[in-house]
Structure 1
Amino acid sequence: MCGADLEGQRRRGRVPQRQQRRDAPQADQAQRVRQPPVQARRPAHRHLAARGEPPRRRRRSGGVPDAGVELGRRHQRLSARRGRRAPGLPRARGGVQRLVDRAVAARPVRRLRPLVPRDRAGCGPRSRQPDGLQPAVRLRLRRRHAGGELQDEAPRRRDPARHEHRPDHRRLTGELMRSLRFACAALAALVPTAAFAMGGPSPGAVTAQTVKLPSGPGSVRGLADNASVSAFTGQVTYAVPIDLPAGPGGLTPSLSFGYDGGLGNGPLGVGWGMAQAGIQRSLRLGVPHYDATDEIELFGLGAGGQVVSLASGELRIEGQGHAIAGRTVDGGYELTDADGRVYRFGTTAAARKASGANVSAWYLEEIRDVAGNRIVYGYRTDKGEVYLDRIEWGPSVGGARVFRAALEYEPRADAVVSYRTGFRVESALRLARVRVSSFGGTQRIVALAYDDRFPLTRVKSVRVTSGDGVDALPETRFTYAAAEAATQTAVPDVTGWGLNLLGTSLFDVDNDGAMDLLRLHTSGHSWRRNIGGRFAPPAPMPGATGSSLDQVRLVDLDGDSVAEMVRQVGSQWVVHKLDRPSASWISLGALAGAANVSLAGVAIADVDGDRRMDVLAPFGSTIKLRYGTAAGLGAPLSRPAIDPSRPIIQPGAAATSFYDLNGDGLADAIHMASSMFYVYLGRGDGTFEKYRDVAYPWTGSVSASQIRLGDLDRDGLLDVAVVRGGNVAWYRGLANGAFDAAAVAVARPPG
Structure 2
Amino acid sequence: MATIRVADLSLPKGGGAVRGLAVDLQSPGSSGTASLGIALNVPKARALTPALHVNYDSGGGNGPYGAGVSIAIASISRSTAAGVPSYTGADVLVFSETGVLVEKGHWNAGRWIPDVRTETGPSGKSWRVQAYIPQRDAALPLIEQWTALDDQVSHWRVVSSDNIESLYGVSASARIHDPADPGRIFQWLLEEVADAKGNRAQYRYKTDDDAATGGTNRYIEKIRYGNYFPAPQADQAYAYELVFDYGEYTLDGLSRPGADPYAPVRAWTERPDPFSSFRSGFEIRTRRLCRGVLTFLNFPTELGALPCLNASVRFGYAESPYLSCLSTLLSTGYSRLADGAYEELSVPPMRWGFSAFNPPPAPRFAPLRVLGATGLPGYLAPGAYQPVDLQGAGLPGFLQSDGVVTRYYEPLGDGRYGAPMAPARFPDSGNLADPALALVDLDSNGQLELLVSAGSATGFYRHGDDGGWSGRQPFDAIPTLYGASQAETVDLNGGGKADLLFTGVTELRHYPSHGAAGFGPARSALRPDGFPAATANTEQTSVVFADVFGDGLSHRVQVRNGEVAVWPCLGHGRYGQRRLLAGAPQFGAAMSATRVYFADVDGSGAADIVYAAVDHLLVFRNQSGNGYSAPLRVPLPLRLSPTDQISFADIRGNGTTAIVITRVSPEVEHWACDLCADPVAPESGGKPYLLASTDNGLGATTTLRYASSTRFYLADKRAGLPWATRLPFPVQVVTEVRSADAVSQVSFTRRYAYRDGYFDPVARLFRGFGMVESWDAQAYAPFADTPDGNWPTARVDDELRVPPTRIRTWYCLGAYELAPAVAAQNARAYFHGDPKAAPPLTNVFDPALPRAAPLRPAH
- Shared fold by TM > 0.5? yes
Aligned ranges 1:49-128 → 2 under 5 Å: none
- Which of 355, 360, 365 is residue 186 of structure 2 equivalent to? 360
Q: Which deviations, in whole Å up to 9, do the C-alpha atoms of 1:615-653 show, x marking residues without a partner?
A: 112344533211112422111222333543756776999
State the SS of the aligned residue for 2:367.
coil
- Contact in 1 for aligned 2:511/2:519 (Cα 8 Å): yes
Equivalent position of 1:289 in the other structure: 86
TM-score normalized with structure 1 length: 0.65
Counterpart Cα distance in 2 of 1:687 and 1:262: 29
Q: 1:534 Cα deviation (Å)? A: 5.2
Aligned ranges 1:310-321 → 2 under 5 Å: 310-313=114-117, 315-318=131-134, 319-321=136-138
Equivalent position of 1:428 in the other structure: 287
Equivalent position of 1:489 in the other structure: 366
Equivalent position of 1:449 in the other structure: 316
Q: 1:728 Cα deviation (Å)? A: 3.5
Counterpart Cα distance in 1 of 2:530 and 2:586: 28
Q: Which deviations, in whole Å up to 9, do the C-alpha atoms of 1:234-289 show, x marking residues without a partner?
A: 321111221111111x3211222211111111111221112011222232332222
- Contact in 1 for aligned 2:561/2:585 (Cα 8 Å): no
Equivalent position of 1:685 in the other structure: 572
Bigger relative contact order, structure 1 or 2 (CA pairs below 8 A, ≥6 apart) = 2
- Contact in 1 for aligned 2:550/2:624 (Cα 8 Å): no
Q: 1:497 Cα deviation (Å)? A: 3.3
Equivalent position of 2:397 in the other structure: 516
- Contact in 1 for aligned 2:201/2:227 (Cα 8 Å): no
Higher-Rg member (1/2): 1
AA aligned to 2:132 is R
Counterpart Cα distance in 1 of 2:286 and 2:55: 18
Counterpart Cα distance in 1 of 2:535 and 2:528: 7
- Contact in 2 for aligned 1:343/1:368 (Cα 8 Å): yes
- Contact in 1 for aligned 2:385/2:398 (Cα 8 Å): yes
- Which of 335, 338, 354 is residue 480 of structure 1 equivalent to? 354
State the SS of the aligned residue for 1:683.
strand
Stretches of structure 2 that go unaligned for 5 or more consecutive residues are 1-19, 106-113, 118-129, 149-153, 209-214, 247-268, 299-306, 335-341, 369-373, 638-670, 672-678, 680-859
**Percent identity of the aligned residues?**
21
Q: 1:588 Cα deviation (Å)? A: 3.0
Counterpart Cα distance in 2 of 1:465 and 1:292: 48
Q: 1:729 Cα deviation (Å)? A: 4.1
**Aligned-residue RMSD, C-alpha:** 3.1
Counterpart Cα distance in 2 of 1:520 and 1:599: 24
- Contact in 2 for aligned 1:436/1:445 (Cα 8 Å): yes
| CA distance 1:426–1:618, change in 2 (3 Å) | same
Equivalent position of 1:404 in the other structure: 241
- Which of 258, 263, 267 is residue 55 of structure 2 equivalent to? 258
After the TM superposition, which of the residue ranges 472-481 and 405-414 deviates more from structure 2?
405-414
Q: 1:436 Cα deviation (Å)? A: 0.5
Counterpart Cα distance in 2 of 1:504 and 1:677: 29
AA aligned to 1:386 is R
- Which of 523, 530, 555 is residue 440 of structure 2 equivalent to? 555
AA aligned to 1:457 is S
AA aligned to 1:340 is N
Counterpart Cα distance in 2 of 1:556 and 1:623: 23
Equivalent position of 1:663 in the other structure: 550
Counterpart Cα distance in 1 of 2:196 and 2:221: 26
Does residue 392 of the first structure (1) align with residue 224 of the second (2)?
yes
Does residue 462 of the first structure (1) align with residue 329 of the second (2)?
yes
Q: Which deviations, in whole Å up to 9, do the C-alpha atoms of 1:474-533 show, x marking residues without a partner?
A: 1111111234746411245445437x8223211134556553221245444233344564
- Contact in 2 for aligned 1:326/1:335 (Cα 8 Å): yes
Does residue 543 of the first structure (1) align with residue 427 of the second (2)?
yes
Does residue 230 of the first structure (1) align with residue 46 of the second (2)?
no
Counterpart Cα distance in 1 of 2:481 and 2:395: 37
State the SS of the aligned residue for 1:232.
helix
Q: Which deviations, in whole Å up to 9, do the C-alpha atoms of 1:41-99 show, x marking residues without a partner?
A: xxxxxxxxxxxxxxxxxxxxxxxxxxxxxxxxxxxxxxxxxxxxxxxxxxxxxxxxxxx
Equivalent position of 1:345 in the other structure: 168
Q: 1:659 Cα deviation (Å)? A: 1.8
Equivalent position of 2:519 in the other structure: 633
AA aligned to 1:317 is I
Counterpart Cα distance in 1 of 2:27 and 2:489: 38
Counterpart Cα distance in 2 of 1:593 and 1:256: 51
| Count, aligned residues | 527
- Contact in 1 for aligned 2:442/2:448 (Cα 8 Å): yes
AA aligned to 1:473 is V
Equivalent position of 1:375 in the other structure: 201
- Which of 392, 405, 408 is residue 527 of structure 1 equivalent to? 408
Counterpart Cα distance in 2 of 1:235 and 1:475: 25
- Contact in 1 for aligned 2:379/2:401 (Cα 8 Å): no
Counterpart Cα distance in 2 of 1:741 and 1:341: 54
State the SS of the aligned residue for 1:431.
coil
| CA distance 1:435–1:531, change in 2 (3 Å) | closer
Equivalent position of 1:103 in the other structure: none
Q: Which deviations, in whole Å up to 9, do the C-alpha atoms of 1:183-238 show, x marking residues without a partner?
A: xxxxxxxxxxxxxxxxxxxxxxxxxxxxxxxxxxxxxx435x21124233432111
Does residue 704 of the first structure (1) align with residue 596 of the second (2)?
no
| CA distance 1:403–1:621, change in 2 (3 Å) | closer
Q: Which deviations, in whole Å up to 9, do the C-alpha atoms of 1:120-164 show, x marking residues without a partner?
A: xxxxxxxxxxxxxxxxxxxxxxxxxxxxxxxxxxxxxxxxxxxxx
AA aligned to 1:465 is T
Counterpart Cα distance in 1 of 2:285 and 2:393: 40
State the SS of the aligned residue for 1:708.
strand
- Contact in 1 for aligned 2:92/2:101 (Cα 8 Å): no
Equivalent position of 2:304 in the other structure: none
State the SS of the aligned residue for 2:290.
strand
| CA distance 1:537–1:600, change in 2 (3 Å) | farther
Equivalent position of 2:141 in the other structure: 324
After the TM superposition, which of the residue ranges 512-521 and 621-630 deviates more from structure 2?
512-521
Does residue 741 of the first structure (1) align with residue 630 of the second (2)?
yes
AA aligned to 2:367 is A
Does residue 335 of the first structure (1) align with residue 134 of the second (2)?
no
Counterpart Cα distance in 1 of 2:484 and 2:160: 55
Does residue 240 of the first structure (1) align with residue 38 of the second (2)?
yes
Counterpart Cα distance in 2 of 1:644 and 1:561: 34
AA aligned to 2:88 is D
| CA distance 1:619–1:234, change in 2 (3 Å) | same
